[in-house]
Amino acid sequence: MEIRIGIVNTGRELSFETSTSADEIRSQVAGALEQNASHLSFTDSKGSSYIVPTANLAYIELGTEESRRVGFVA
């Protein structure tokens, strides 16, 4: 699944692929915001880690959980 994270006062967004389900991401983000956690931590499908401060979150966009198709469809 693709995740796109917008950060306040930043012209670019953070975008990466992860194997974590959309429901797990939603619960992780909701839990961190409810508990006033200082940051969120994500891991992409290649094993890289991303730490995002919750105070600077503008939005989190969750893509579809389907893998992208390659090639032509007739």
Please give the full DSSP string across 17-37, using - where no structure is assigned. Answer: E-SS-HHHHHHHHHHHHHTT-
Residue 69 lies in a domain: no
Residue 12 lies in a domain: yes
Chain segment 11-68, per-residue pLDDT in tens? 899 999 998 888 999 999 999 999 999 999 999 999 999 999 999 899 999 987 665 6
Is residue 74 predicted with pLDDT exceeding 70? Answer: no
Residue 11 lies in a domain: yes
Domains held by the chain: number: 1
Residue range of the domain that includes 49: 2-62
Q: Residue 59 and residue 53: Cα distance in Å, rounded?
A: 12
Distant-in-sequence, close-in-space partners of 70: CB < 8 Å, separation ≥ 6: none
Residue 70 lies in a domain: no
Q: What is the pLDDT of residue 65?
A: 65
Per the confidence metrics, is the pTM higher than 0.85?
no
Residue 68 lies in a domain: no
